[in-house]
Protein backbone atom coordinates (compact mmCIF):
# COMPACT_ATOMS: atom_id res chain seq x y z
CA UNK A 1 0.00 0.00 0.00
CA UNK A 2 1.55 3.32 -1.03
CA UNK A 3 1.49 6.50 1.07
CA UNK A 4 -1.37 8.04 -0.91
CA UNK A 5 -3.56 4.95 -0.31
CA UNK A 6 -2.69 4.99 3.38
CA UNK A 7 -3.61 8.68 3.59
CA UNK A 8 -6.95 8.07 1.85
CA UNK A 9 -7.71 5.14 4.15
CA UNK A 10 -6.81 7.17 7.23
CA UNK A 11 -9.00 10.07 6.04
CA UNK A 12 -11.91 7.72 5.44
CA UNK A 13 -11.51 6.18 8.90
CA UNK A 14 -11.44 9.61 10.56
CA UNK A 15 -14.61 10.60 8.68
CA UNK A 16 -16.38 7.41 9.73
CA UNK A 17 -15.35 7.72 13.36
CA UNK A 18 -15.90 11.48 13.59
CA UNK A 19 -18.62 12.24 16.08
CA UNK A 20 -18.30 8.89 17.81
CA UNK A 21 -20.19 9.96 20.95
CA UNK A 22 -22.87 11.52 18.76
CA UNK A 23 -23.41 8.18 17.07
CA UNK A 24 -22.96 5.87 20.08
CA UNK A 25 -24.36 7.91 23.00
CA UNK A 26 -26.77 10.24 21.19
CA UNK A 27 -27.65 13.88 21.73
CA UNK A 28 -30.38 13.35 24.35
CA UNK A 29 -30.40 11.71 27.76
CA UNK A 30 -33.12 10.61 30.17
CA UNK A 31 -32.56 11.77 33.76
CA UNK A 32 -34.48 10.77 36.89
CA UNK A 33 -35.61 13.33 39.46
CA UNK A 34 -37.08 12.69 42.91
CA UNK A 35 -38.14 14.81 45.88
CA UNK A 36 -37.89 12.32 48.78
CA UNK A 37 -40.90 12.55 51.10
CA UNK A 38 -42.77 14.82 48.70
CA UNK A 39 -44.02 12.84 45.70
CA UNK A 40 -45.94 14.87 43.13
CA UNK A 41 -43.79 17.97 43.51
CA UNK A 42 -43.83 20.26 40.46
CA UNK A 43 -40.28 20.91 39.21
CA UNK A 44 -38.96 23.41 36.70
CA UNK A 45 -35.70 22.56 34.94
CA UNK A 46 -33.85 25.43 33.27
CA UNK A 47 -30.80 25.41 31.00
CA UNK A 48 -29.20 28.26 29.07
CA UNK A 49 -28.82 25.76 26.22
CA UNK A 50 -32.42 24.59 25.76
CA UNK A 51 -34.70 26.73 27.93
CA UNK A 52 -37.26 25.47 30.46
CA UNK A 53 -39.02 22.13 31.00
CA UNK A 54 -41.41 21.06 33.75
CA UNK A 55 -42.19 17.71 35.36
CA UNK A 56 -43.64 16.04 38.46
CA UNK A 57 -41.65 13.83 40.80
CA UNK A 58 -40.72 11.10 41.01
CA UNK A 59 -40.16 10.75 37.32
CA UNK A 60 -37.84 10.89 34.40
CA UNK A 61 -37.47 13.39 31.58
CA UNK A 62 -35.55 13.36 28.31
CA UNK A 63 -33.20 16.33 27.96
CA UNK A 64 -31.06 17.57 25.09
CA UNK A 65 -27.42 17.15 26.11
CA UNK A 66 -25.44 20.36 26.57
CA UNK A 67 -22.42 21.65 28.44
CA UNK A 68 -24.54 23.90 30.69
CA UNK A 69 -25.72 22.60 34.06
CA UNK A 70 -29.48 22.41 34.63
CA UNK A 71 -31.01 24.52 37.42
CA UNK A 72 -33.88 22.75 39.21
CA UNK A 73 -36.59 24.40 41.31
CA UNK A 74 -39.29 22.22 42.93
CA UNK A 75 -42.35 22.96 45.06
CA UNK A 76 -45.25 21.13 46.67
CA UNK A 77 -47.54 23.14 48.90
CA UNK A 78 -45.43 24.99 51.46
CA UNK A 79 -42.35 22.89 50.68
CA UNK A 80 -39.71 24.18 48.26
CA UNK A 81 -36.20 23.26 47.17
CA UNK A 82 -33.68 23.65 44.43
CA UNK A 83 -30.51 22.21 43.05
CA UNK A 84 -28.39 21.53 39.99
CA UNK A 85 -28.22 18.64 37.57
CA UNK A 86 -24.54 18.68 36.65
CA UNK A 87 -23.32 18.33 33.07
CA UNK A 88 -20.02 16.48 32.75
CA UNK A 89 -17.83 15.49 29.81
CA UNK A 90 -18.68 12.01 28.47
CA UNK A 91 -15.75 9.59 28.99
CA UNK A 92 -15.99 8.56 25.33
CA UNK A 93 -14.72 12.05 24.39
CA UNK A 94 -11.15 11.13 25.34
CA UNK A 95 -11.17 8.25 22.88
CA UNK A 96 -12.72 10.44 20.24
CA UNK A 97 -9.86 12.93 20.54
CA UNK A 98 -7.41 10.12 19.82
CA UNK A 99 -9.41 8.41 17.07
CA UNK A 100 -11.70 11.04 15.55
CA UNK A 101 -9.40 13.98 16.09
CA UNK A 102 -10.55 17.56 15.88
CA UNK A 103 -13.38 16.76 13.47
CA UNK A 104 -14.94 14.16 15.78
CA UNK A 105 -14.50 16.40 18.81
CA UNK A 106 -16.15 19.27 16.93
CA UNK A 107 -19.12 17.13 15.91
CA UNK A 108 -19.61 15.85 19.46
CA UNK A 109 -19.25 19.35 20.95
CA UNK A 110 -21.73 20.89 18.51
CA UNK A 111 -24.31 18.13 19.05
CA UNK A 112 -23.92 18.07 22.86
CA UNK A 113 -23.06 14.36 22.72
CA UNK A 114 -19.75 14.92 24.50
CA UNK A 115 -21.72 15.84 27.64
CA UNK A 116 -23.60 13.72 30.16
CA UNK A 117 -25.92 14.78 32.96
CA UNK A 118 -25.97 13.21 36.40
CA UNK A 119 -28.46 10.39 35.83
CA UNK A 120 -30.21 10.11 39.24
CA UNK A 121 -31.02 13.34 41.06
CA UNK A 122 -32.75 14.19 44.34
CA UNK A 123 -33.99 17.59 45.44
CA UNK A 124 -34.60 18.09 49.16
CA UNK A 125 -37.71 20.12 49.92
CA UNK A 126 -37.99 22.16 53.11
CA UNK A 127 -40.91 24.08 54.54
CA UNK A 128 -41.02 27.73 53.47
CA UNK A 129 -41.35 29.68 56.74
CA UNK A 130 -43.27 32.45 54.94
CA UNK A 131 -45.97 29.98 53.86
CA UNK A 132 -49.11 29.92 56.00
CA UNK A 133 -50.85 27.02 54.24
| Long-range contacts of residues 102-105, Cβ cutoff 8 Å, at least 24 apart | 103/14, 103/15, 103/18, 103/19, 104/14, 104/17, 104/18, 104/19, 104/20
Q: How far apart are CA 111 and CA 25, in angstroms?
A: 11
SS3 42: strand
Quote the pLDDT of residue 116: 92
Q: In 1-35, which positions are buried (b, 16+ CB within 10 angstroms) versus exposed (e)?
A: eeeeeeeeeeeeeeeebbbbbbbebebebebebbb
Question: Residue 78's CB: how many other CB atoms inside 10 A?
Answer: 14
Read off the pLDDT of residues 74-128 as tens digits, 9 standing for 90 and up.
999 999 999 999 999 865 544 544 544 544 545 444 444 579 999 999 999 999 9
pTM over cut 0.75: no
Read off the pLDDT of residues 40-50 as tens digits, 9 standing for 90 and up.
999 999 999 99
Closest Cα partner for 33 from 77, 70, 79, 66? 70
Amino acid sequence: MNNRSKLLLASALVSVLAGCATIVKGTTQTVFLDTPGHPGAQCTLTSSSWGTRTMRTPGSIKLDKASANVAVSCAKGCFKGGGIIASNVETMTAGNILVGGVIGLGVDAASGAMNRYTEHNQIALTRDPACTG
